[in-house]
């Protein structure tokens, strides 16, 4: 279970959010909503320990999260693309799977690619892809990197309806397997979820 | 884990090879700079120390530009977030990237060095000694440059002048290189050992400081 206790964060002299508390049990989805600039992304970065909070803490099963726990448990997909422009799709997939210490056979990787992309030339350079395709490449990690908690920042942005359905299916499967998901999104999910509004 | 580390090395190497054109351009600029240097000082006779000092300073700047270019693209915010959450420590990723930058620079330097030596009017009999000197000193230079680059590219650091704080670390390399060039035929094994020792010293704290600066200043 993830517990967020009285979390506050400030950037310079401006307070981004104050005294945020909620918890997420295994098998739950928490959708963080709020207007632009209210600190949704900052809250996610605080949860995964990429930013240090002003006050409060984040606990996983009662233990304070350190960098080792964060890298063992969290898969974070942010708004921006992380793939290398000069590499092909194939090379990017291989690179990021090696970074996440994941080893799969070509067959499994190709199946996952086919599920998300349909037919796609894997020898294309990353910069040749459209915004949606770039986003899909990141979301491919959801299928291949096995970590118990997914932290997703606006995962549906730029995706077509068909892909949104596929991603929602992936989220549903994750919940079935008792994983936890925290999503910052303006969109409503079609699977059972709780909401936390940042005001 | 070891298999994936080897895959990581392979991928980093291919990434670095793709970035070789930029290094090639930098070395072409070094040739032009060397030509201007030689032309400007054509009426003055001097020993090997002056062109060697010029060469070392230029190599330092080339290394700094190359490391900053690689770091600016490879440690952008989104990539850095993935690196921090990966099972490999950020220090290891920094180390691997530095070694790949070093290999890239030294490989191109070895190709360019005969031409540069001719332009700088240095006797070609010193070619192997100068290559050895540069190969050893460049290891430390790249690791010092990585500390400088990690501060320079940071988003949250308002004072990029702080990156200048790492520059004095380059001074011992320059001094010892000059000392080596003073000895006939560069025959000073003990001084060469200095570079190894200095590299080990850099190896001990540079990846730590670089990754600390990246984590604290760039996320």
How close A70 gets to chain B, by Cα (Å)? Answer: 7
pLDDT tens for B107-143 read 999 999 999 999 888 888 888 888 888 888 899 999 9
Is B82's CB within 8 Å of A102's CB? no
Chain-centre distance of CA B195, in angstroms? 13
Is A100's CB within 8 Å of B87's CB? yes
pLDDT of the residue at B101: 94
d(CA A137, CA B106): 35
Is A99's CB within 8 Å of B219's CB? no
The answer to ipTM > 0.85 is yes
What is the sign of the dihedral through the CA atoms of B92, B18, B77 and B10? negative
Phi, psi of A177 (to 5 degrees): -85, 15
Residue to mutate among A99, A123, A126, with most B CBs inside 10 A, is A99
B178 at interface of A, judged by CB pairs closer than 8 A: no
pLDDT of the residue at B219: 63
B4 at interface of A, judged by CB pairs closer than 8 A: yes
Which stretches of chain A sit within 8 Å of chain B by CB? Answer: 45, 48, 50-51, 67, 70-72, 74-76, 78-82, 84, 86-87, 91, 94-103
Residue B106 has pLDDT above 90, yes or no: yes
- Mean pLDDT computed over every residue of chain A: 84
Which residues in chain A are contacts of B82 at CB distance < 8 A? 76, 82, 96, 99-100
Nearest by Cα to B58 from B126, B120, B136, B123: B120
pLDDT of the residue at B92: 92
How close A125 gets to chain B, by Cα (Å)? Answer: 12
Chain A residue with minimal CA distance to B2?
A101
Average pLDDT, integer, range B43-55: 80
Confidence of residue B98 (pLDDT cuts 50, 70, 90): very high
Give the 3-state secondary structure of residue A4.
Answer: strand
Residue B189 has pLDDT above 80, yes or no: no
Confidence of residue A60 (pLDDT cuts 50, 70, 90): confident
Which residues in chain A are contacts of B74 at CB distance < 8 A? 84
Residue B56 has pLDDT above 80, yes or no: yes
B84 at interface of A, judged by CB pairs closer than 8 A: yes
d(CA B133, CA B150): 26
Which residues in chain A are contacts of B214 at CB distance < 8 A? none
Phi, psi of A103 (to 5 degrees): -125, 120
Residue to mutate among A98, A141, A144, with most B CBs inside 10 A, is A98
Higher pLDDT, A72 or B107: B107
- Lowest mean pLDDT across A89-103, A181-195, B82-96: A181-195
Higher pLDDT, B205 or B165: B205
Residue B216 has pLDDT above 90, yes or no: no
Q: Write the residue in B4, B84, B87 that is nearest to A50 by C-beta.
A: B84
Question: In which element (H, E) is residue B99 found?
Answer: helix B90-119
Residues counted in chain B:
219
With a pLDDT cut of 70, the percent of chain A lying above it is 100
Q: Write the residue in A45, A48, A98 that is nearest to B11 by C-beta.
A: A98
pTM above 0.80, yes or no: yes
d(CA B46, CA A59): 67
Q: List, in sequence order, every beta strand (DSSP E) within A12-54.
A: 14-24, 29-33
CA torsion angle A16 A147 A177 A180 (round to 10): -10
d(CA B110, CA B53): 18
Residue to mutate among B20, B77, B82, B86, with most A CBs inside 10 A, is B82
- Mean pLDDT computed over every residue of chain B: 85
Average pLDDT, integer, range A174-185: 87
Q: List, in sequence order, every beta strand (DSSP E) within chain A.
A: 2-11, 14-24, 29-33, 55-60, 63-64, 74-77, 149-153, 180-184, 194-197
């Amino acid at each position: 279970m993830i517990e967020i206790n009285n979390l506050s964060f400030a950037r310079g002299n401006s307070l981004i959010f104050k005294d945020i508390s909620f918890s997420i049990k295994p098998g739950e989805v928490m959708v963080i909503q709020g207007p632009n600039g209210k600190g949704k992304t900052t809250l996610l970065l605080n949860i995964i320990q990429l930013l240090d909070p002003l006050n409060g803490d984040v606990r996983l099963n009662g233990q304070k999260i350190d960098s080792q726990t964060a890298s063992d448990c969290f898969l974070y997909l942010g708004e921006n693309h992380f793939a290398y422009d000069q590499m092909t799709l194939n090379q990017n997939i291989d690179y990021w799977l090696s970074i996440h210490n994941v080893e799969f056979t070509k067959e499994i990787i190709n199946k996952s690619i086919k599920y998300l992309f349909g037919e796609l030339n894997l020898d294309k350079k990353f910069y040749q892809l459209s915004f949606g395709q770039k986003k899909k490449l990141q979301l491919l990690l959801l299928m291949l990197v096995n970590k118990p908690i997914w932290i997703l920042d606006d995962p549906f942005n730029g995706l077509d309806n068909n892909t949104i359905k596929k991603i929602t299916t992936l989220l549903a499967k994750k919940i079935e397997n008792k994983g936890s998901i925290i999503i910052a999104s303006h969109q409503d999910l079609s699977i059972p979820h709780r909401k936390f509004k940042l005001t | 884990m070891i298999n994936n580390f080897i895959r990581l090395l392979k991928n980093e190497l291919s990434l670095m090879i793709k970035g070789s054109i930029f290094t090639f351009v930098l070395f072409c600029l070094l040739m032009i700079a060397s030509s201007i240097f030689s032309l400007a000082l054509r009426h003055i006779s001097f020993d090997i120390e002056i062109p060697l000092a010029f060469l070392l300073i230029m190599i330092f700047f080339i290394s700094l530009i190359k490391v900053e270019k690689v770091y600016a693209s490879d440690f952008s915010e989104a990539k850095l977030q993935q690196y921090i959450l990966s099972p490999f420590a950020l220090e290891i990723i920094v180390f691997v990237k530095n070694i790949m930058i070093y290999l890239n620079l030294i490989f191109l330097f070895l190709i360019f060095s005969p031409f540069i030596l001719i332009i700088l009017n240095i006797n070609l009999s010193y070619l192997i000694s100068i290559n050895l000197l540069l190969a050893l000193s460049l290891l430390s230079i790249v690791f010092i440059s990585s500390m400088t680059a990690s501060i320079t590219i940071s988003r949250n650091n308002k004072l990029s002048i702080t990156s200048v704080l790492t520059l004095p670390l380059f001074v011992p390399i320059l001094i010892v290189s000059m000392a080596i060039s003073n000895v006939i035929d560069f025959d000073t094994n003990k001084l060469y050992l200095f570079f190894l020792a200095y590299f080990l010293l850099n190896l001990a704290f540079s990846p730590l400081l670089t990754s600390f600066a990246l984590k604290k200043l760039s996320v």
